[in-house]
Chain A
Amino acid sequence: MTTTLFDNSRVSELRLQQAALPWRRRTANFRVAVAIAVIVPPVIVGLLWFLTSIPKPILMLVIYLPLQLIASAIAAWSQRGTKAVLDSAIIVCAIGATIFSFVILISVLWSIVSNGVHALSWAFLFQNNVYISPSTPLGYGGVGNAILGTIMVVVIASLFAVPLGIATAVYITEVRGKAVPYVRFLVQAMSGVPSVVAGLFILTVFILTGVLQSSGFAAGLAYAILMLPTVARTAEEVLKLIPDDLRTGALALGSTRARVVMKVVLPAAKTGLITAAILGIARVVGETAPLLLTALSNDQTVLNPFNQPITALPAYIFSNVAQPYPDAVTRAWGAALVLVILVAILFTITRVLTAKRVRR
């Protein structure tokens, strides 16, 4: 077979040649300069951190950042002249900004985990909230009903928002009708609707008129209003990425426009459309205001989405976090942790599903 073509000694020879390429080599001088620029400022600031009582944020922003900028600038200048100074400043700022946002993200996650982990137990995950008052100690009662509630509301919202959102995107990118600019404008305007307005809309139009009861279904509708623009806009971007060659190719085979969309364009965009749905869910899953207006709350486990109020996780968090009892607050943190985990599970599942499709 072809394997005989590859001689291992040749390969290692090639590697050696590559290692010796002149532009790869860096002088010892250069390494020293970089090492000094990277080590000296942190060491100085580290000493100040432990030995003085300068407030930490001031230490980082007013002392460390300028120090690091100057040190890098000097190192860059000593190696490559004045032109390199700006270069080094940009690199330092970029790395600094990355670390800054990373730190914020991690600290948010950490506060949820560290505060919420005490509340976690099997009982917390699977029991409902009946007979539980804010002063009940941890270990009794839980968010089982709220987890089910969140899943129910999100599923109902997806049933409306995902098909409608994809249909909107199909109208914009495939049908290309006369109303495209108006539809696009409307979708854009809708994405600016505050969540409380979506809740009020369902409340006044459906609940106060007696068409619907305060229920999971009503909350699902409110969520769908918020989800729709996200799904529609993401799906539009995804469908725009499908090359026109595929569409003309299908038409040239004697396909109708409808079949082009159903059998070629949408399947080719499947991965992206799943992502659009997930982004839509992520957009709404933590919304509290629509729940308070349309689903109220209910300590019991509810399976029927139509006939009674239900509790979902954000509403549970909302009602517990302001209680004067530490255990209730801890339960609120626990529920927040559960919500984060739910979203993480959702993201992981889709990542795995979509990655598989790409590889095959």
Chain B
Amino acid sequence: MGKHGKKQETSTHIISALVLNNPGVLQRIAGLFSRRGYNISSITVGTTETPNMARMTIVVKGDDKILEQVVKQLNKLIEVIKVSDLDVNKCVKRELCLIKIHTPDESSKSQVIQYTNVFRGKIVDISHESLTVEITGSSDKIDAFIDLVRTFGIKEMARTGLTALMRGSKVLKPRK
């Protein structure tokens, strides 16, 4: 075996990208990932402090070599202003999740309310049959909550995927 093409370990990375908010930019980025066979775990897009720019937070699994390629290929896109592979330990990460839980009686309702309080979640909707809970936090925390309420029966659920910013005063800035 020579020196090229060795296998490396895979891990989860959070890519933060500032992009021009043009029509088609999402397709361009999604297309890049599918064409090159990179695995997206989640992708979130939203506006930023600058009107014509959007921020994308992309969670990808891969080894260091793949991640290097992901960042380089993203950088090649004309509408991508700046890309960073965030240091998982030096950024704040949040995900939001809405869960509609089957709660046909008072006891199940009060239990779910209790759990929700422990997880600092919110009850955002209530009906005879169900409670809808909003949970925000790390993906682990959301996973744990889902696990906990699974026994009641989850009627419906929506997770936003992770979004993140670097800690401290550092920001992602366009190159000069």
- Do A and B assemble together? no
* Interfacial residues, chain A to chain B (CB-CB below 8 A): none
* Interfacial residues, chain B to chain A (CB-CB below 8 A): none
